[in-house]
Structure 1
């Protein structure tokens, strides 16, 4: 290992990122652009490295949530088009314009306020339509018509795209999804002959309805090898390759007597003489206390976390004494055993999106390419 000095790390398989992009590209209509969604530091995987892998595999654009994320990519040398999908303060639009970053126009009022700051700049816009998500976006056709007129009469704005977001595209029941899609079609009539990028498809829509995606898709969770939901796994047309794994090591081992207690609150009592290993990962790393009692992998076998997970460490019960430095896998595979992101999410009663996002950047990321370490990113050094 290199560039970090602790025995915990995450591995990001960039070959899997590329494969997931290439697989989607094959099922989309020709000339459909893929916008790789790398917000939240690429869902906890690493924004620059994932962006480069996705672009190499055929993506042509990137999408993020906030202006800061787009600027971070620009500072790291990324030159392809980037869309900020979230709200940007009108007073910051010149910064976006200077860095050739596209912004989301989500109301007539935002356009009016943003226009006041664009005295000597032009900024590219993607208009967001709220077809039923209830988040950002123009909901009424009257406001849409007025907003388009405002853009047409103000040279500081360049309309580049239009989009919406589906609330239930990852659910079996498609009634609400179809209602949103039909509403989007109705509103799209105002964009005829404008020659803009039209994107409504997130991962779920891209995978399930590839012929209804217009000329661009936004590829998010499934680019990382994770299904948008477990409800539609059987509808995914190719095998997703999970890119994120999480590992640590045994740094201390001891044999405790029957009846002895482990960790805060003394909630765990040894039922017999037991081998207990200490592993240097805890809730400050994102391996939260609610995961106490779940399994990890050691030498290809499942072993339980015992006692409460601490801020920086946790303890595991071993069947036998293990050498110091023995690898512990929290997410990933050893021999014929696998602990997936979905398994961890189920344990936490949440969605798989949340799991890699919650692993803090105190945990170094090791980027793998062709089976070898390509790069290590340690945010602390």
Structure 2
């Protein structure tokens, strides 16, 4: 086992992930669950999360890139794998050999894949992506008939049909309803019960369980994070956050009133203050915009003062505390809690960005 000498670490609660999976299984009825483990499982650790998902009865894993799929294969994760993003032509025979399903994202892509298919290998597993309004990738609704004809003409196995909702996590739902209507028409046109239909992301699975179809894709909420504040404030379920971020005080000093802290002297002590240094900075994913964000020490909130450095930051304490005192940056301590969503609000961004921006320098510890 690798030893870590710096006290900064992300603690991942795999039981929380299992609990969230169970919630979505119950909410989605007979539908399959895709555990979305792209982007290193949203910063939580792709291999470990995938293993836990499979142990919990999940049959499908979804990733964004071919390389992510191959990493799962290297670790002998026994599940069906779908690459939801672009798969280049060079990956096609690799996917055939490994049994990895890929997304057909355009008519041109289908033709290019068909040109490099290896007939001596198993058929290429295809999930046809339909662009119902996201305008990112996918065939247009009016191209679906031609796309299906091309898929069935080539050495493909037409395994799935899917789309992605752009505004399922928002209160306004005009675009969402148009996407639902468009996809319903596509499903009716194809009329093939052997093709797996999956349209719901986390937000749709939470707010619109009637759209479960054959499978739902659970990404951000697998990790106990609501897709948006609107969903968080209105969802009928309770998710278990899976990630905690903690460190320790490594230095403390009494700083005189009027003295400045850190680069740019953006913070000056209003009185004599106890200032502690933490071994975490923006190179770890604790971005400079978090200056002023609070952390937990002995269950009490204390602020980050001065600019966050690349490797360190400083906090103001109410009293002298020893080196080695535990500090909770995200998560719970002594009945108090700081959530990922709080960081996101401070940074004026979405909660998704917080865990994926925790760099590899922060070890993930699993419990």
For the criterion TM > 0.5, the same-fold answer is: yes
User: Do structure 1's residue 144 and structure 2's residue 144 form an aligned pair?
Assistant: yes
Q: Work out the CA distance in 1 between the residues paired with 2:159 and 2:44.
A: 28
Confirm or deny: 8 A CA contact 1:199 1:218 kept in the other structure: yes
Confirm or deny: 8 A CA contact 1:19 1:57 kept in the other structure: no
Question: TM (normalized to structure 1)?
Answer: 0.93
Can you list the C-alpha shifts for 1:191-222, whole angstroms capped at 9, x where unaligned?
21351110000111111111222110001111
Q: Work out the CA distance in 1 between the residues paired with 2:57 and 2:40.
A: 20
Confirm or deny: 8 A CA contact 2:201 2:217 kept in the other structure: yes
Q: Alpha-carbon deviation of 1:17?
A: 0.3
Q: Alpha-carbon deviation of 1:148?
A: 1.2
Q: 1:309 and 1:259, CA in 2 relative to 1: closer, same or farther beyond 3 A?
A: same
Confirm or deny: 8 A CA contact 1:251 1:277 kept in the other structure: yes
* SS class of match (1:245): strand
* Equivalence for 2:189: 190
Q: Alpha-carbon deviation of 1:100?
A: 1.4
Moved more, 247-256 or 93-102: 93-102
Q: Work out the CA distance in 2 between the residues paired with 1:267 and 1:237.
A: 43
1:224-263 pair list within 5 angstroms:
224-263=223-262
Confirm or deny: 8 A CA contact 1:13 1:367 kept in the other structure: yes
Q: Alpha-carbon deviation of 1:56?
A: 2.4
1:178-217 pair list within 5 angstroms:
178-217=177-216
* Equivalence for 1:323: 322
1:24-63 pair list within 5 angstroms:
24-30=24-30, 32-63=31-62
Confirm or deny: 8 A CA contact 1:34 1:217 kept in the other structure: yes
User: Do structure 1's residue 132 and structure 2's residue 137 form an aligned pair?
Assistant: no
Confirm or deny: 8 A CA contact 2:250 2:277 kept in the other structure: yes
Confirm or deny: 8 A CA contact 1:251 1:324 kept in the other structure: yes
Confirm or deny: 8 A CA contact 1:25 1:58 kept in the other structure: no
Q: Work out the CA distance in 2 between the residues paired with 1:326 and 1:77.
A: 40
Can you list the C-alpha shifts for 1:150-185, whole angstroms capped at 9, x where unaligned?
11121x211110000000101112222111001001
1:45-194 pair list within 5 angstroms:
45-119=44-118, 120-121=120-121, 122-141=123-142, 143-154=143-154, 156-194=155-193
Q: Work out the CA distance in 1 between the residues paired with 2:7 and 2:241.
A: 22
Q: Work out the CA distance in 2 between the residues paired with 1:188 and 1:238.
A: 29
Q: Work out the CA distance in 1 between the residues paired with 2:214 and 2:347.
A: 37
Q: Work out the CA distance in 2 between the residues paired with 1:152 and 1:197.
A: 15
Q: Work out the CA distance in 1 between the residues paired with 2:230 and 2:193.
A: 37
* Equivalence for 1:23: 23
Aligned length: 365
Moved more, 52-61 or 336-345: 52-61
Gaps of 5+ in 1: 369-381
Q: Work out the CA distance in 2 between the residues paired with 1:172 and 1:111.
A: 36
Q: Alpha-carbon deviation of 1:232?
A: 2.1
Question: TM (normalized to structure 2)?
Answer: 0.97
Q: Alpha-carbon deviation of 1:267?
A: 1.7
Q: Work out the CA distance in 2 between the residues paired with 1:51 and 1:222.
A: 15
Q: CA RMSD in A?
A: 1.3
Confirm or deny: 8 A CA contact 1:64 1:82 kept in the other structure: yes
Q: Work out the CA distance in 2 between the residues paired with 1:194 and 1:26.
A: 23
Confirm or deny: 8 A CA contact 1:33 1:216 kept in the other structure: yes
Q: Work out the CA distance in 2 between the residues paired with 1:321 and 1:140.
A: 65
Structure 1 stretches of at least 4 aligned residues deviating more than 4 Å after TM superposition: none
